[in-house]
Amino acid sequence: MTAYDPVSVVMPALGNTKLLDANLPLLFAEFESRAVGDELVLVDDTGRGDLEEWAKDALADRPARLVVRKENGGFAAAMEDGIRQAANDQIFSMNSDVKVLPGFLEP
């Protein structure tokens, strides 16, 4: 197995937890298979903190963090805030409605 640099996946979200519940397990499975320190930076761009309660359980014990914006600023602003909080140098921008396939982060 080839070692890859860890990636921070920055994902703006507007509160659709059904999409997140459906798609994040696939993302976390990819992180686990790579085992290089990948992380999810989920950005709550609702301006109301709608994802905070959901994230307490859904992101517990996961390589993830929630960034809550005080106002909805749109995709670009949410990405900027997420990138500032990212732990890794490699950034992957992703929408919450994307279903990933195994190996999607490989170069």
Q: What is the model's pLDDT at position 4?
A: 86
The CA distance from 90 to 38, in Å, is: 9
Could you state, in chain order, the average pLDDT of each consecutive group of 10 residues for the chain (107 residues)?
Answer: 84 95 97 97 94 95 96 95 97 95 91
Q: What is the model's pLDDT at position 2?
A: 54
Q: What is the model's pLDDT at position 87?
A: 98
Query: How many Cα neighbours within 13 Å face the side chain of 55?
Result: 17
Q: What is the model's pLDDT at position 1?
A: 39
Q: What is the model's pLDDT at position 52?
A: 94
